[in-house]
Structure 1
Amino acid sequence: MINVQFAALPERWETYEAPLRAAFEKFGLAVDLRLDHAPEDVDYIVYAPNSDLQDFTAYTRCKAVLNLWAGVEAITGNTTLTQPLCRMVDPGLTQGMVEWVTGHTLRYHLDIDHWINHQGGEWSPVCPPLASQRNVTVLGLGELGTACATTLASLGFNVTGWARRAKQIEGITCLHDAEGLEDALSTAEILILLLPDTPATTNLLDANTLDLLPKGARIINPGRGPLIDDEALLDALDTGQIAHATLDVFRIEPLPKDHPYWAHPKVTVTPHIAAETRAITASEVIAENIRRGEAGEPLLHLVDREAGY
């Protein structure tokens, strides 16, 4: 019997219990899934970083901690976590992110906000450019960034991607390092942020990098709130350097009611809805990793502690 402990907020148990049990059965795993195993008996922990479980010292038998979130920045620095840590790469979450990013990219590309708000009775047809005439840059070429970039390229957009390490993706102009970042930003009429939150990416978009964008660029951030220097973005919006920003993630969530983003006419706020882990598909990812762990096979989506993701 494989002992699996579920360590997340109580409402998540109600969402995940049945899908996890179904996934374990589908993968032929004999699992005792509980909220309250004795720590020394636990083989795997299904985990969310906002769980009450923050000290892993007693989990001496645990073979892996399987994160329910794509982001792991809230747990990688925990010195008691010595077990292998796997982040969530959920096909349902990825599809949700692709749909959200594609929708807002097309919204900006076709200037849909203008036509929705253009109710003055003036007939002024302006034909939007084709996707092949629009430059889109995606910062971050992990699972989510690659999926979004390739989808946008399939629609005809000129897509440039930037990552901290060199990548090769068919149909995407891939850049890396500091010089590559400047080049990626310099052509970005629509900029999409899908980088992890690490010390190297905090405030990556600041006054200097915002000035590298073409005047009137639009920004879409479904990645991480700390990627953007908020004051610098507000200044760039006020000067017209940035035409508009759609923000789904923030340094403090929920976004405080008195935050300037709420009232700013050039900002669209969405409440961290770009991508959500789907219980059915995520449960199968968890089950597959437990199957691998029991079979002695490499775990999927293992976190690089030094890189932070």
Structure 2
Amino acid sequence: MKTDITLKEHAPQGETSRGALLFYSQFDDPTEWADALQAAYPGLDIRIYPDVGNADDITYVLAWRPPEGFFAPYKNIKLVVNLGAGVDSLTGRADLPEVPICRLSDSGMMALMRSYVLFAVIRYARDMPDFEKAQRQSEWRYIHPTPLDRIRVGVLGLGALGSAAARSLADLTFDVRGWDLAPKQIDGVACFSDPGEWENFLGDVDILVNMMPLTTGTRGMLDKSVFDALKPGTKFVNASRGEVVNEDDLLAALRSGQVGAATLDVFVSEPLRSDHPFWKMENVYITPHLASITVPDAAARDVAANIRRVEQGEAPLHQVNPKAGF
């Protein structure tokens, strides 16, 4: 409850921070972010990279995938906020200072991810690919619907976004099972973390949704052994990171029918090259890494709340462990 109150509090009028915030992103509109941050923290000194000014002024950094060496000039950083959910670009860096690193807890971002996962799962659960094919053939094809509580959905990765997606699926009465490296409890979701249950978990689902973060331990973890453990024809959804999946093994499983179909939002190399076999496969549905995006108006309030906490000598919210990768 304390988190909710903190994130909703209004900024005092005329407030001035003790340092400047540096914004870096090649993908986001800096003007939209500057406006949102000013609204959440009036008087905040915002610098848009590369217009940094005096590097010693920089106390806070809000960044998405900064290049190697990015942090080296800034000696007075107190807080780094990752502009998005995945923090893999902030792991294993020699230039990153030993300061709190936080991810955004953005209700808009969570809503978008829930909607994407629900869309992908429902599309398979309600046989939409078959109806899409029938329409292309001008064919009236009836497929009797399967009750949702008979469809078993496995969610790999029960962090903030994975847990939200799993809860939303359970709310629709899907039979939801979740897997995470650490024990979790989610209402309506059977949660697993024991390595001894891994193969049984995989073999018991009709649709598998990957929400695992990218770490040294998860890179390439979804490989031939995982796809072979699934029931033949299991559907697969990847909405986390492309590098968690061995794409050659997934391609082979899709060609053989071991994986019946896949919805893929993320890839090892992006943009996906135009000659990649995924483009031509009828059982693959591709979206260009947009399952979820950060919503500035909501996220800026989160950033402002954490700046205030740091300035008051408090620990910021939503900290991550860069060594663990989440």
Normalised TM-score (structure 2): 0.89
For 1:306, the equivalent position in structure 2 comes to 323
Q: Which amino acid aligns with 1:110?
A: R
The 3 A distance-change label for structure 1 pair 122 and 59 is closer
2:189 matched to 1:172? yes
For 2:177, the equivalent position in structure 1 comes to 160
Alignment of 1:103-122 (within 5 A): 103-119=119-135, 120=137
Deviations 1:256-275 (A, max 9, x none): 11111111121111101110
For 1:150, the equivalent position in structure 2 comes to 167
For 2:151, the equivalent position in structure 1 comes to 134
Deviations 1:90-133 (A, max 9, x none): 21111000001101111000001111221456555321111111
Q: Which amino acid aligns with 1:241?
A: Q
Distance 1:166 1:285 in 2: 27
2:23 matched to 1:6? yes
Instruction: Compare 201-210 and 37-46 and name the one that shifted more.
Output: 37-46
Alignment of 1:199-278 (within 5 A): 199-278=216-295
Instruction: Compare 78-87 and 156-165 and name the one that shifted more.
Output: 78-87
2:105 to 77, 81, 89: 89
For 1:33, the equivalent position in structure 2 comes to 46
Q: Which SS does the other structure have where 2:270 is aligned?
A: coil
Distance 1:22 1:53 in 2: 31
Check conservation: 1:136, 1:191, Cα contact below 8 A: yes
For 2:9, the equivalent position in structure 1 comes to none
Distance 2:314 2:76 in 1: 18
2:41 matched to 1:24? yes
The 3 A distance-change label for structure 1 pair 151 and 11 is closer
For 1:101, the equivalent position in structure 2 comes to 117
Distance 2:57 2:130 in 1: 59
Q: Which SS does the other structure have where 1:218 is aligned?
A: strand
Distance 2:28 2:235 in 1: 37
Q: Which amino acid aligns with 1:56?
A: F
For 2:7, the equivalent position in structure 1 comes to none
The 3 A distance-change label for structure 1 pair 286 and 118 is same
2:71 matched to 1:56? yes
Distance 1:53 1:34 in 2: 19
Q: CA deviation at 1:19?
A: 0.9
For 1:44, the equivalent position in structure 2 comes to 60
Instruction: Compare 238-247 and 31-40 and name the one that shifted more.
Output: 31-40
The 3 A distance-change label for structure 1 pair 156 and 57 is same
Normalised TM-score (structure 1): 0.93
Where does structure 2 lack aligned partners over 5 or more consecutive residues?
1-15
2:142 matched to 1:125? yes
Instruction: Compare 117-126 and 143-152 and name the one that shifted more.
Output: 117-126
2:91 to 76, 80, 93: 76
Instruction: Compare 137-146 and 39-48 and name the one that shifted more.
Output: 39-48
Query: How many pairs does the alignment contain?
Result: 304
Q: Which SS does the other structure have where 1:153 is aligned?
A: helix
The 3 A distance-change label for structure 1 pair 40 and 124 is closer
Where does structure 1 lack aligned partners over 5 or more consecutive residues?
none
Check conservation: 2:127, 2:143, Cα contact below 8 A: no
Check conservation: 1:161, 1:174, Cα contact below 8 A: yes
Check conservation: 2:68, 2:93, Cα contact below 8 A: no
Q: CA deviation at 1:11?
A: 5.5
Instruction: Compare 291-300 and 240-249 and name the one that shifted more.
Output: 291-300
Distance 1:229 1:246 in 2: 15
Q: CA deviation at 1:180?
A: 2.9
Alignment of 1:185-200 (within 5 A): 185-200=202-217
Q: CA deviation at 1:8?
A: 2.5
Distance 2:142 2:114 in 1: 30
Distance 2:309 2:278 in 1: 45
Q: CA deviation at 1:84?
A: 1.8
Q: Which SS does the other structure have where 1:191 is aligned?
A: strand
**RMSD of the alignment, in Å?**
1.7
The 3 A distance-change label for structure 1 pair 33 and 90 is same
Instruction: Compare 16-25 and 99-108 and name the one that shifted more.
Output: 16-25
Distance 1:71 1:171 in 2: 26
